[in-house]
Structure 1
Amino acid sequence: MSFLISGLSLLLVLLTLPVSLLMTIKVVQEYERAVIFRLGRLLKGGARGPGIFFILPCVDNYTKVDMRVVTFDVPPQEILTKDSVTIHVDAILYYKVSNATSCVANVDDYGKSTRLLAATTLRNVLGTKSLQEILSDRESIAHDMQLSLDEATDPWGVKVERVEVRDVRLPESLQRAMAAEAEAAREARAKVIAAEGEHKASRALRHAADVISESPAALQLRYLQTLNNISAEKNSTIIFPVPIDIISRFLPR
């Protein structure tokens, strides 16, 4: 029956030349493919294009499929992490059609289905991670999402090229708590560093005192060096310490 209808359609095209050429000749762009159905059945040979192809009027029905990469912003999803923290996360999805025939014959709307699946996968994957893992391991999380989506969309003829976790928004109370924790950690490290510096300085002063105690003249040289440093400044009062061994001779016995 189908061969008879196809033959009649071809005869009609030949009888109505050249007007029928406007209805039989179709063109698709380099980035497009045409999936043809003849009397409701998928035409053998796969999708047509790019370039010129022919259809039979009243018999063939075709659908154009864009093969370019499509970018989709996954809306912010409210997610409860593994450690019971509520966050809002959004992502970017890059996908394209790898098999035009499958995306038309196997799924109603491949674009909408892929986008809904991306939002669901984002919640499922991040729900098994802690907040620290989400903030530090975005690349591994995006890779896991890409593999999961690519496996699920393969029967639809869709190839997921890339997934990027773009933004992680935390509650304001949690942001203030994390900022306070980070500030306290910095202050603790500063105090430890200052204490270590005081310890090293005290050891150096003790060593210097031991060296000076072995030579009384070294103490006098240190006095003179201090006076030289003081005299370098203007309007300064110089106090010259007199060594005890000098004035001891004038003291009464």
Structure 2
Amino acid sequence: MKKDAERLQMSTSGKKQRQPMRSALPFAIFLMIFVAAILGGAAGDNYLIVIAGFVVALLVSQSIKVAQQWEKAVVLRLGKFHCLAGPGIFFTIPVIDTTPFWIDQRIIATPFNAEQTLTKDNVPVDVDAVLFWMVWDAEKAALEVENYREAVSWAAQTALRDIIGRTMLSEMLAGREHIDNELQEIIDKRTAPWGVTVQSVEIRDVIIPEGLQNAMSREAQADRERKARIILGSVEQEIANSFLEAAKIYGDNAIALQLRSMNVMYESLKERGGLVVVPSQIADAAALGSCLGLQLQTKQKSKTDERQEE
């Protein structure tokens, strides 16, 4: 509910017509002339001076206009376009000239969105985006379209729906930059006749249904598990090939096999210690009896030598 209210506020903020800032200079001039007329009329005891001063003050104040640095005023004379005025102070003819439009020429950020729009693969998505644009021709913005702010907002929203309808969900999630550039070209082409240029378009968020999010999460998890099993199988294959090559070497060389058997026993005794029971076939194959006998004789001889020395 909160998300819907936020989107509604974002959508309406881009369509709201901003009121231009007005200067207090015309009102100050009106007061100065009118007060001077009152003082002059009171001094000469002539009320006609007061009335004439009020009319002059009103006409002068109505003829003086001040445009801010970032805006242009569209002046119509008897209903027809006369000129663009501003920024700064300018003068108009009261009653004959009117300034119905004050065009802001700064860069404007307009949020827009597309709700429950189907992608090319029939997936409903909600997309939020921001449009950065500015008025480069104030005359066209005032005369070619009724409300250029609202028109830009609607053009951006329809272009976004069109892009979503011919884009796959995977492309939308992975290629936002490409979609941003395409949106900018489409919107700029539509708004150029109105004197509006698009600076950039940025997609803020792409929301997909919760059920689809869970399905995509399970799919990604299954894909990762599949890759892990493939890697494990390739490792097992490499180990099996290594064992196969080692078996060929041991089959061709009996001494190598004996050395390997003795090394295995040595490593077992070295790491764990204790008693090792060796089957007779393995002992015969490794000639362990002869080795142990030689080892025993060597130990006995060393003990005899020690006694003789004593």
TM bin (shorter chain): 0.7 to 0.9
Would the alpha carbon gap of residues 211 and 36 (structure 1) be closer, same or farther in structure 2, given more than 3 Å must change?
Answer: same
Provide the secondary structure at the position in 2 that maps to 1:43: strand
Is 1:118–2:145 an aligned residue pair? no
**Alpha-carbon distance in structure 1 between the residues aligned to 2:136 and 2:273:** 86
Which of 231, 243, 246 matches 2:283?
243
> What are the equivalent positions in structure 2 for 1:132-211 lying under 5 Å apart?
132-211=170-249
With structure 2 as the length reference, what TM-score do the two structures score? 0.67
Would the alpha carbon gap of residues 246 and 230 (structure 1) be closer, same or farther in structure 2, given more than 3 Å must change?
Answer: closer
Provide the secondary structure at the position in 1 that maps to 2:85: coil
**Alpha-carbon distance in structure 1 between the residues aligned to 2:263 and 2:112:** 72
CA RMSD, 1 decimal:
2.5
Q: Unmatched 5+ residue regions in structure 2? A: 1-51, 291-310
- 2:73 is matched with which residue? 34
- 1:49 is matched with which residue? 86
- 1:4 is matched with which residue? none
Provide the secondary structure at the position in 1 that maps to 2:95: coil
Provide the secondary structure at the position in 2 that maps to 1:79: strand
With structure 1 as the length reference, what TM-score do the two structures score? 0.81
Q: Unmatched 5+ residue regions in structure 1? A: 1-14, 249-253
Moved more, 208-217 or 90-99: 208-217
Q: Which has the bigger relative contact order, CA under 8 A and spacing at least 6?
A: 1
Q: Which amino acid aligns with 1:28?
A: A
Q: Which amino acid aligns with 1:243?
A: A
Moved more, 152-161 or 54-63: 54-63
- 2:264 is matched with which residue? 226
> What are the equivalent positions in structure 2 for 1:81-92 lying under 5 Å apart?
81-92=119-130
Would the alpha carbon gap of residues 43 and 217 (structure 1) be closer, same or farther in structure 2, given more than 3 Å must change?
Answer: same
Deviation at 1:22, TM superposition (A): 4.2
Moved more, 129-138 or 214-223: 214-223
Which of 134, 152, 166 matches 1:128?
166
Identity %: 35
Which of 54, 60, 68 matches 2:97?
60
- 1:25 is matched with which residue? 64
